Chain A
């Protein structure tokens, strides 16, 4: 396959460690585990396999309450928790095995983070095909949640770029799974419930530099934003809008739209051309372990949103930004999820198809009326849907927002939004969910029956189980 195969030694992550850690690596201890939203903790035995064989043994050994793979714990809800059972901490499987520097293909273990891949691949002129809003997700997690990025309208979801993967299934076998098969489509977006992804072969995207050429513009309200996103859809590889959900009245849904490309070499200033593929992310402070509840209230968030909106240029073209600044601004603040205090927070992300813009408007109106203090709200236009049975994306509009979980009446409010989304034929994202009404799941995911049938066949004893799968009867 490769003209130049370079085995790469595993390196220590500079990433913040996953929230669940333990002191003695030789002993598996029950530890409380939560998702990134820090809600609904449950206790599980944390097992950290270092080799494929150890992973097989761990799956064999797990008791009646089963096991689930966990990466860097960036899923917001309970997808990588397994109360009373075992959780496989996959970050020990962190080897980048081979890189085809000519053809742009990498083979790596499931526990390798996208951050690590960027460190290794950027100097060779390659970039990951899809990156979400954080680099600190593992390859296994990216497949399990079938993540998407700002380039979904061009590139689709992560699993579209997976050429094959090794899957450890409930019977203890390791299978090579390729796209186009049932097992692949169930595993992509299958939230780890078909088995443990051990390694994957991924097609990469070539880049000349590690900088982004970014266009920024403001949209004065939601309709303005949607028309700008639609008109300019195909011009740029990456596009996304930050949206101010606290703005009211005529300004409801005002937004800052950013679009970008990988900057070509000749776009760089002369000095920067000497080292065009530099990748040196910086990290700022980390919030303390204890943050008082209600720091992110309506006043502080609406002030933040106002400043963020005003700060953005009305229209600017071709600004050079680093990859972390463009894709992963929050990665600069390790443990940023602590700022919501003890109760944690809920991420709500849904998609509705084209022609269902009224549902999107309704949700934005309701969130604005409810005065949900949300400062990370993001709107994006998806491209074609992806083949995974439980993959989230579908052609249309997706809105993601964050809300402190302690907000009174939030549960009922979000149930109302679910109904609007379901009535419009849309769905919510399982990797972010921590509270969906189980009855709505079959409505939102038509592939669910096939998924359940395949799981019943492949894993009759229910070896792979998570708090998410228990809560939603996946």
Chain B
């Protein structure tokens, strides 16, 4: 069960090698979280992520999960929920893709869309149903500011996150009053291995700061969290910039 501050005792991370996911798990394990499920493609990285959390004292289990295989989601996630209540699901998987490369190879672009959006729709709905049956829990969805307004530089990734964001908002409304809390997290540019080698955008943040914002959002039962918080204001201004002007902005 969650405590008065929304800190979960059991956590399921979809995308078990995600840096933001692991930073969040570490933070929560330091508080109340005792059981962590890491769902991801079996790999040495997943195992070492599990070991890292075990060292902090958590009971960690890994489960094979592939965002690109929605037909298998029901079975995999069903098994996790059958083992006991999950207080929080962190939907953390996602790929950035390579915009220039993907524009030339539509199938690669489709993969980005399928991972970030289709995979999230299927696993998100399954988790939402399971959380609803247990009458409590949080579903935390990692979206991105990139989904807020299309940018020339990353619109394939951005459009997939826009879809995910809209999906999660709607899901949150659908689950309102069922005891399940859906929280959409929109980080700006996060310094991580996913963005390694890219030119840093203004207001860049780190996985730890995102984790901190998630913990705070859980405490306040927020529905939308921007990281850093000032992005809420920045993006609501950018949203209204006319397109001819927006195209010329160096963002």
Complex-state Cα separation, A66 to B2, whole angstroms: 18
- Cβ contacts under 8 Å, B31 to chain A: 411-412
Shortest CB–CB separation between residue A296 and chain B, in angstroms?
Answer: 16
Is A40's CB under 8 angstroms from B2's CB?
Answer: yes
Complex CA gap A3/B97 in Å reads 86
B179 and A43 contacting across the interface, CB-CB below 8 Å: yes
Residues of B within 8 A of A85 (CB): 135
How far does the alpha carbon of A82 sit from the alpha carbon of B85 in the complex, in Å?
13
**Chain A residue with Cβ nearest B177:** A32
Most buried by A among B4, B32, B133, B135: B4
Q: Which of B181-217 contact A (CB under 8 A)?
A: 216
Complex CA gap A82/B134 in Å reads 9
Near B by CB (< 8 A), chain A positions 262-311 give none
Q: In this assembly, does A470 line the interface, its C-beta being within 8 Å of a C-beta of chain B?
A: yes
CB-contact partner of A343 in B85, B134, B220, under 8 A: B220
Minimal Cβ-Cβ distance residue in B for A84: B135
- For residue A471, CB closer than 8 A to chain B, the reply is yes
Given contacts A342-B220, A470-B1, A470-B85, contact A40 B6 (CB under 8 A): yes
Majority-rule SS of B interface residues? loop
A75 interface residue per 8 A CB criterion: no
Cα(A148)–Cα(B38), bound, Å: 45
Cα–Cα distance between A425 and B205 once the two chains are bound (Å) = 44
Asked whether, in the complex, the Cβ of A37 is within 8 Å of the Cβ of B32, the reply is no
Question: Inter-chain contact count A-B, CB under 8 Å?
Answer: 79
Q: Is A331 on the interface with B (CB-CB < 8 A)?
A: no
Q: B17 at interface (Cβ–Cβ under 8 A)?
A: no
Q: For this complex, into which size category does the number of interface residues on chain B fall?
A: 20 to 34
Chain A interface residue count, CB cutoff 8 Å, equals 33
Q: Mark B81-111, 1 if CB is under 8 A from A, else 0.
A: 0000100000000000000000000000000
Contact digits for A332-354, partner B, Cβ 8 Å, 1 yes 0 no: 00000000001110100000000
Contact, CB under 8 Å: B5 / A84: no
Q: Specify which chain B residues have a CB less than 8 angstroms from the CB of A77 in the assembled complex.
A: 4
CB distance from B103 to the nearest CB of A (A): 44
Q: Which of B1, B177, B220 sits near A40, CB closer than 8 Å? A: B1
Q: Is the CB of A40 within 8 A of B135?
A: no
B41 contacts partner chain A, Cβ-Cβ < 8 Å: no
**Binding site of A, secondary structure by majority: helix, strand, loop or mixed?**
loop
CA distance A438 to B6 in the complex (A): 15
Closest CB in chain B relative to A386 CB, distance in Å: 26
Rounded to whole angstroms, the CA-CA distance of A405 and B85 in the bound complex is 24
Task: Identify which of residues 423-474 in chain A touch chain B, using a CB-to-CB cut-off of 8 Å.
Answer: 434-435, 437-438, 467, 470-471
Closest-by-CB residue of A relative to B133 is A84
CA distance A395 to B135 in the complex (A): 39
When C-beta atoms are compared, the residue in chain A nearest to B215 turns out to be A411
Assembly CA distance A324 to B179 (angstroms): 36
Q: How far is the CA of A437 from the CA of B9 in the complex (A)?
A: 10
B77 to chain A, nearest CB (A): 17
Residue of B nearest to A412 (CB): B31
The answer for the CA separation of A84 and B85 in the assembled complex, in Å, is 10
A385 within 8 A of B: no
A30 touches B135 (CB 8 A): yes
Cβ of B55 < 8 Å from any Cβ of A? no
Q: Is B160 an interface residue (CB 8 A)?
A: no
Please state if A471 and B9 are interface contacts (CB–CB under 8 Å): yes
Of the candidates A343, A437, A467, the one whose C-beta lies within 8 Å of that of B221 is A343
What are 26 inter-chain pairs, A to B, with CB distance below 8 A?
A39-B4, A40-B1, A43-B135, A43-B136, A43-B179, A44-B135, A77-B4, A78-B1, A83-B1, A83-B85, A83-B135, A83-B179, A85-B135, A343-B221, A344-B4, A405-B4, A406-B219, A410-B5, A411-B7, A411-B219, A412-B31, A434-B4, A435-B3, A435-B4, A435-B5, A471-B9
List 18 extra interface pairs beyond A83-B136, A84-B136, A410-B5, CB under 8 A.
Answer: A40-B2, A40-B4, A40-B6, A65-B135, A83-B1, A83-B134, A84-B135, A85-B135, A343-B220, A344-B4, A346-B4, A406-B219, A411-B3, A411-B7, A411-B32, A434-B4, A437-B32, A471-B3
